[in-house]
Structure 1
Amino acid sequence: MNISYHGHSVVKVQIGDKTILIDPFLTGNSLTDLSADTEQPDVILLTHGHNDHVGDTVALAAKNDAVVVAPVEAADYLSKQGVTNTVPLGLGGTYDLGFAKVKFVQAFHSSSYTDEDGVVHYMGVAGGILLFAEGLTIYHAGDTALFGDMELIGRRHPIDVAFLPIGGHFTMDPVDAAHAVSLIKPKIAVPVHYDTFPPIKVDVNDFVSHVKDAKVQVLQAGGQVQLNA
């Protein structure tokens, strides 16, 4: 398995000959190294419906006939935009991809999509994603505030790699995210969702210095998680 980070909240997971993209905000993302013109995902996973997470989902799904797993209302909206293979999941729901399993868990955040005409569409509840494959468990927290049941998530499903937002303003800040690590207890913690826009510019070292319960890997766009580090 190859797990890599690509700026903002974009995560790519390659399992054998299958490619999963999580929150594929590529076009307009100044921090990513990926292009919507060249990516070929088999599966797209969405934590919630904000534009900077849905990103290029419609175009990528159409070009690659990708399966899109998303919160129920987000999946419904995307199906109306021409995405032909959507899987709507509610919180607590699990879906078997055949080569991996996906489970949606709680997050504390809003979720809406603003289309090109400025119309705002409700996209259901925001969530986090648990991805189970090859004996590993990956947790992408999506956009979220700190909440106590993160401890339950980590206890119920011991986490190997956790991607946690640290940018503050819209999500946890570095100190809250570090406390989240103490609740989740992942083996590896990777900070995401920071520095993309002025409101979420932070010093990532504030996160690193406060984490006491996991190995932190700060990745640049294209950086791979070192599972055995």
Structure 2
Amino acid sequence: MIITYHGKQFFKIQQGDLTIAVNPLAKDNPAGLPTTKFGADVTLCSVRHPNYDGFDMTEYNGNEPFKIYGPGNYEVKDNTYVGHGSKALIDGKEYLNTIYFFKAEGISFCFIGDLHSPDIDQKTKEHIESVDVIFVPIGGEGTLSPQEAAKVLKFFSPKIIIPMDYGKDRDPATLEVFKKEMSSSPAPIEKYVFKKSDLDTLTSHVVILEAQ
């Protein structure tokens, strides 16, 4: 399993022949961040906003990915993707945010998306309790702050925690505050490579990825 970070909330998850893209930055995104383009089999979008729905950035050689946006159950290439609705707040405007749950090679993932409030409904909490890898925003300014993200994570015991939504368009202290809240100070890495058996010895292991 290989996880690569492309800024904001844009991730590439690869396992064998399967490539999953999550929240791709549109080319002309309001955040003013550089983006990247690669081919994906499945693309998940938490919020219909150019900071997260650049689907064309995950098309390659005329091949379009299976596009998922919004709550519901989706079956794609023998994998199930489940979306739970919540709220996002971008520039003072309320949007629908979808929290996604899915598995790849027996590893379970939760992608929280652009969640505005740490108050999560009970059904979603029950799903989060069983995940191996969780992606959580820490940027504040409409999404979870570092303190709120840490508060949410303390209710659960994921194997791996990957913070997101920090960088050039956010307060530069955000990441350091989050690491302090989590009592963890890992060095940033270019990509995270692991396999299911690696999870056996991990609990709330924080992985910091450099935007590529």
165-174 or 129-138: bigger deviation? 129-138
Q: Is the 8 A contact 2:26 2:52 kept in 1?
A: no
- Aligned twin of 1:188: 160
Q: CA deviation at 1:98?
A: 2.0
Alignment identity in percent? 25
- Aligned twin of 1:11: 11
Unaligned runs of 5+ in 1: 72-89, 113-119, 223-229
- Aligned twin of 1:219: 209
Partners in 1 of 2:57 and 2:107 — Cα distance?
30
Would the alpha carbon gap of residues 14 and 41 (structure 1) be closer, same or farther in structure 2, given more than 3 Å must change?
same
Aligned counterpart in structure 2 of residue 97 of structure 1, from 54, 57, 76: 76
Partners in 2 of 1:2 and 1:10 — Cα distance?
14
Partners in 2 of 1:197 and 1:10 — Cα distance?
14
- Aligned twin of 2:36: 35
- Aligned twin of 1:140: 111
Letter in 2 for 1:68: K
Partners in 2 of 1:206 and 1:127 — Cα distance?
26
Partners in 2 of 1:152 and 1:208 — Cα distance?
28
Q: CA deviation at 1:10?
A: 0.8
Q: Calculate the TM-score normalised by the size of structure 1.
A: 0.71
Would the alpha carbon gap of residues 5 and 210 (structure 1) be closer, same or farther in structure 2, given more than 3 Å must change?
same
Would the alpha carbon gap of residues 196 and 102 (structure 1) be closer, same or farther in structure 2, given more than 3 Å must change?
farther
Partners in 1 of 2:206 and 2:148 — Cα distance?
15
SS of the residue corresponding to residue 48 of structure 2 reads coil
Q: Is the 8 A contact 1:107 1:142 kept in 2?
A: no
Would the alpha carbon gap of residues 176 and 35 (structure 1) be closer, same or farther in structure 2, given more than 3 Å must change?
same
- Aligned twin of 1:50: 49
Cα RMSD of the aligned pairs, angstroms, is 2.8
* Richer in helix (by share): 1
Q: Is the 8 A contact 1:107 1:143 kept in 2?
A: no
Would the alpha carbon gap of residues 211 and 53 (structure 1) be closer, same or farther in structure 2, given more than 3 Å must change?
same
Would the alpha carbon gap of residues 59 and 8 (structure 1) be closer, same or farther in structure 2, given more than 3 Å must change?
closer
| Count of equivalent residues | 188
Would the alpha carbon gap of residues 110 and 168 (structure 1) be closer, same or farther in structure 2, given more than 3 Å must change?
closer
* Richer in strand (by share): 2
Q: CA deviation at 1:26?
A: 5.7
Query: Is residue 107 from structure 1 mapped to residue 86 from structure 2 by the alignment?
Result: yes
Q: CA deviation at 1:154?
A: 4.6
Q: Calculate the TM-score normalised by the size of structure 2.
A: 0.76
